[in-house]
Structure 1
């Protein structure tokens, strides 16, 4: 499956409108993500535009961990990627397995999220308002999972829903949280 996703900065002047419009679509759930990204010692995954991540999600009712692999971008404009994800029972065991296989943790950080699951334009969508404590500002991610042959149509739908939420095309960004956190941490 392809994660057809767009990310945008939410300007302070638009934040109340975006939040109200999301609340009209679904009940939001607050979650804190603890993300750890892995790579080979020579950076082969990053060089191939791939990602390997362990994410532990702390929610109001549960804590869960998922292992995610994202392949290289299939759409340069949006950065949409194939995504394979599975829930894991023991986060520490998976961290140990990846290190045992020769992967190294290259960056870890926290995301404070408010997630909204809803249907729009005939698709299941997930909107996430994101704050990363190390990065200034608020972001919105809107995604839907599709087969590769549906990607263009799905991205058109995602753009339309972002517009409905009050997000302008000029607000879209392809900046990665990992890059922004690295830049913030650089001496």
Structure 2
């Protein structure tokens, strides 16, 4: 399955949150993400990702191990995604380190998640995101689709964004990982 996703910067976060709260139940969570790559960065250079995510919600923790293949849609950056639950982030870290992978970057995302059904019947997830190290608020809207439905899935996602007052000019393909790494690199120089 492909994660057909669009991300945008949000100029009026409270307005977007209010609209989303009128449509779905809000689930607040903190994501603690660690991305991995080999020393010569083959995953990064090919647009692939390997991530261990610890999701903290209401005192509970869930660990998710994710591999994302290169984008199938360059404009949106939508990628095939494969995920599985895991028992321990520490054990995954030990396994990956033992295989030669190293930490590319770790970051924290504060998320307000809203599960929605689009007008055309697609299940999607709208997430309002802040990353403490980055300025501003973002929104990600995604739906899982077969590869031959990426264009249609992205159209549904665009409709959700439009209904929240997000315009085409607000869209961004900026990755949190790259932005955080650039900010940290700038601080050390």
The whole-number CA distance in structure 1 between the counterparts of 2:148 and 2:174 is 25
Structure 2 partner of 1:162: 161
Structure 2 partner of 1:84: 82
Structure 1 partner of 2:8: 8
Gaps of 5+ in 2: none
Aligned counterparts, 1:34-183, within 5 A: 34-120=32-118, 121-183=120-182
The whole-number CA distance in structure 2 between the counterparts of 1:16 and 1:93 is 39
Gaps of 5+ in 1: none
The whole-number CA distance in structure 2 between the counterparts of 1:48 and 1:90 is 28
Offset of residue 16 of structure 1: 2.5
Compute the RMSD of aligned alpha carbons: 0.8
The whole-number CA distance in structure 1 between the counterparts of 2:89 and 2:181 is 24
TM-score, L = length of structure 1: 0.97
Give secondary structure in 2 for the equivalent of 1:25. Answer: coil
The whole-number CA distance in structure 2 between the counterparts of 1:16 and 1:58 is 23
Offset of residue 15 of structure 1: 2.1
> C-alpha deviations, 1:77-117, integer Å up to 9, x for none?
00000000011012111111111111111100110111111
TM-score, L = length of structure 2: 0.96
The whole-number CA distance in structure 1 between the counterparts of 2:13 and 2:110 is 16
Structure 1 outlier segments of 4+, above 3 Å: none
